[in-house]
A and B are shown apart, each in its own frame.
Chain A
Amino acid sequence: DGGITQSPKYLFRKEGQNVTLSCEQNLNHDAMYWYRQDPGQGLRLIYYSQIVNDFQKGDIAEGYSVSREKKESFPLTVTSAQKNPTAFYLCASNRDSGANVLTFGAGSRLTVL
């Protein structure tokens, strides 16, 4: 079945550590996105990539980094510079480039201890 796989589902990290969240899709979608979800704030866009080897900052990119070396993969690194990294992270890909209809993964919950 086609879909988006995010791993790990739950992740704990100590302050000052970088951590990388994995996102893989087999939908053959060109565009991929990372969103962060916090209670009461909805989904906020961190980074997005319309094509391999290219990506753009979203609304809250500070403290995060991404790469897009393969069409299928769009990993997100949460760096130690991110002041409040505890959140639910969602990866998505674009099913319809005109309407931005996104397909989401199941999410990764990051907790900083």
Chain B
Amino acid sequence: QKEVEQDPGPLSVPEGAIVSLNCTYSNSAFQYFMWYRQYSRKGPELLMYTYSSGNKEDGRFTAQVDKSSKYISLFIRDSQPSDSATYLCARGGGNKLTFGTGTQLKVEL
């Protein structure tokens, strides 16, 4: 079993839709969770990070961690074509980050 599991997609939604991206993880010892956004042929950029359980909101983005079910979610409200990218979840702790495989999102006009 991979430490972080993520549906690779692709996921296609119309502009303005609410997008839900999800990951599961297997090791409950780690406390930090991140979401990175990666445009094609670019390096990933940090979107949000959360500590332990709960929600964190930043503009149109909300990150949610449910430690009881080992579930990480990213919600994007009022999605825009510029949100089209690959979204990588990761869990942190110790000396490294462990990433999911990434979900490719396309927001269509």
Contact = CB atoms under 8 A, between A and B. Distances in A.
Interface in B1-21: 4, 6, 8
A95 to B, nearest CB: 8
A4 B42 CA distance: 13
State the majority secondary structure of interface residues on A: strand
A74 interface: no
Interface of B: 4, 6, 8, 32, 34, 36, 41-46, 49, 51, 88, 92-97, 99-102
Nearest to B49: A101
A105 interface: yes
Contact of B95 (A4, A48, A90): A48
A50 B43 contact: no
A104 B92 CA distance: 15
A17 interface: no
Interface in A27-74: 31, 33, 40-43, 45, 48, 50, 56, 58
